[in-house]
A and B are shown apart, each in its own frame.
Chain A
């Protein structure tokens, strides 16, 4: 089992550029999440999905978009990158709500200059 995979691992963007962070899980989990982790801070939820075709905003959704066309994939789109989006991005998945643990990908380190 690969678990949760993310690509790319590192990326440098110029201000105003766009990119998509890829996330795939092979555990048939309905719930998927995108977080950002800023230095010395906890994780902040950007978007989440409770199943294919269903997405919802988290705490910090501005500047991002998501889609969930399949159970496996949950890409995060950055439009018009800004320096404030420099962060480490983690994708996670979860079997169901409540007591189930979240499984995290290895992260994508993004720098916007």
Chain B
């Protein structure tokens, strides 16, 4: 079945460091891919998405490119801030039935 595998955490970075969180997926069709962010005590919020191969999603300085050949959707940011501290979830939607599949989440802490 469809699934998402993402990098284990936790990740701790200094402010202004480069961030990469790896995400790979398994899907039978042509899924849409998402990154969600969860701040402490809150629900998940959409960070960015890509709906087809080679699409790049971007938001708030974060980017991820849909790579069909490597079945990956890695999240990157060039310079993290303390306010980026949160848990990041990679997800896919395979369309039929509207089901979403989430990774286990990667906790990011950015220290000043």
Contacts and interface: CB of A to CB of B under 8 A. Distances in A.
The answer to whether A and B come from one shared complex is yes
Contacts, number: 62
A86 to B, nearest CB: 17
Interface in B55-112: 89, 93, 95-100, 102-105
Contact of B100 (A33, A50, A106): A33
Nearest to B101: A45
Contacts of B51: 98-99
A84 to B, nearest CB: 19
B25 interface: no
B20 interface: no
Closest 3 interchain pairs by CB? A104-B43, A97-B98, A42-B104
Interface of B: 32, 34, 36, 42-46, 49, 51, 89, 93, 95-100, 102-105
